[in-house]
Amino acid sequence: MSTVPTGQPVGVIRYMGRCTHEINGGGEGKAIFQSPDHAAAWKSQQAAAFPEGGYERQNVYRCPYFDHYHLTNRQVVMVNGMLVEEGNKASLDAASRKPASAIKDIDTAEVVRLYESVGAAQTAKRLGISTNCVYYRLKKAGIGKGPRQQKDVAPVRKVLFDLDAINDRRAQLRAEIQKLEEDAKRVEEMQRLKVEWAVEGVSVTIRKHTDSLTLVVEDCRSLVSQLEELLTTPDVDAA
């Protein structure tokens, strides 16, 4: 009885290594093939060498993470021109994304707007792009640290990314509040009555908000005298 090989099988067609993201039932990365034809040829080669190894039941599909191919015991379907492994959410999501040419046309401002409203996952879903693409656009906009690099630390990186985004937003809000406070002080200063020399010893300017009145010194003295008289005269209604 033939046995299933455990390492790199001998033969004319050989796979290119192991994938770091697509994992087989044995817990190791799936074999990498540069094209569907290479994967199919390797499968035929192994099926001939190991008739009872189950290779004839395997199907070729495209890796949802990189530009290469794998074999699977599951059924494979064609979605948007891409070979997709049934039951593999990442594979289906990859086939549902927009092509690179369409992704380039997506407005970064729209990505930021959606992200701040519904988060990265929903933004990716609504725009038909990957979450890594969302993070890349956010990085271009100066928000967060950009795409996550490794699948096995993705949950931790996502939390860190969200915290960084929150801290960035807090800093923006603090800057906006500081600017509003400065504007408020400026308006308060403009609304205060101020008296100052227009030309020292010659004329005086009285200011409030955007209004101003300039008087020569003699008129100022006359104004003070009239104001004193007006303010010290009992009100007619109060008499």
Q: Could you tell me if 91 and 60 lie in one domain?
A: yes
Q: Which of 61, 77, 96 is the last residue of a domain?
A: 96
In a domain, 210, yes or no: yes
Provide the domain limits for residue 131. 98-151+158-168
* pLDDT number for residue 92: 77
Q: Could you tell me if 117 and 92 lie in one domain?
A: no
Q: Could you tell me if 83 and 24 lie in one domain?
A: yes
Name which of 233, 232, 204, 228 is nearest 216 in CA terms: 204
Q: Could you tell me if 102 and 92 lie in one domain?
A: no
Write out the chain's pLDDT in tens, 239 residues.
333 333 444 456 778 888 888 888 888 889 999 888 899 999 988 888 888 888 888 999 988 888 789 999 999 888 777 888 888 888 777 776 655 545 566 778 888 888 888 888 888 777 777 777 788 788 878 876 544 443 333 443 444 456 767 777 788 889 899 999 988 888 888 788 888 888 888 889 988 877 888 999 999 999 899 988 888 877 645 54
In a domain, 10, yes or no: no
* pLDDT number for residue 60: 92
Q: Could you tell me if 109 and 163 lie in one domain?
A: yes
* Angle, helices 131-140/120-127, rounded to nearest 10 degrees: 110
Q: Which of 74, 96, 118 is the last residue of a domain?
A: 96
How many alpha carbons fall within 13 Å on the CB side of residue 155? 1
Q: Could you tell me if 215 and 147 lie in one domain?
A: no
Cα(11)–Cα(177) distance, integer angstroms: 69
Q: Could you tell me if 102 and 164 lie in one domain?
A: yes
Q: Could you tell me if 114 and 78 lie in one domain?
A: no
* Angle, helices 120-127/108-118, rounded to nearest 10 degrees: 130
Cβ–Cβ < 8 Å for 138, 112: yes
Residues in a beta bridge with 31: 18
Segment 73-78 long-range contacts (CB within 8 Å, at least 24 positions apart): none
Q: Could you tell me if 103 and 135 lie in one domain?
A: yes
In a domain, 3, yes or no: no
Q: Could you tell me if 76 and 146 lie in one domain?
A: no
Q: Could you tell me if 73 and 109 lie in one domain?
A: no
* pLDDT number for residue 105: 64
First to last CA, the chain: 125
- Helix boundaries (H) for 36-153: 36-49, 89-96, 100-103, 108-118, 120-127, 131-140
* pLDDT number for residue 5: 37
In a domain, 4, yes or no: no
In a domain, 238, yes or no: no
Please give the distance of CA 93 from its chain centroid, rounded to a whole number.
19
In a domain, 60, yes or no: yes
In a domain, 6, yes or no: no
Structure tokens at 200: 């020292």
Q: Could you tell me if 90 and 139 lie in one domain?
A: no
* pLDDT number for residue 11: 53
In a domain, 9, yes or no: no
Domains held by the chain: number: 3
Cβ–Cβ < 8 Å for 138, 123: no
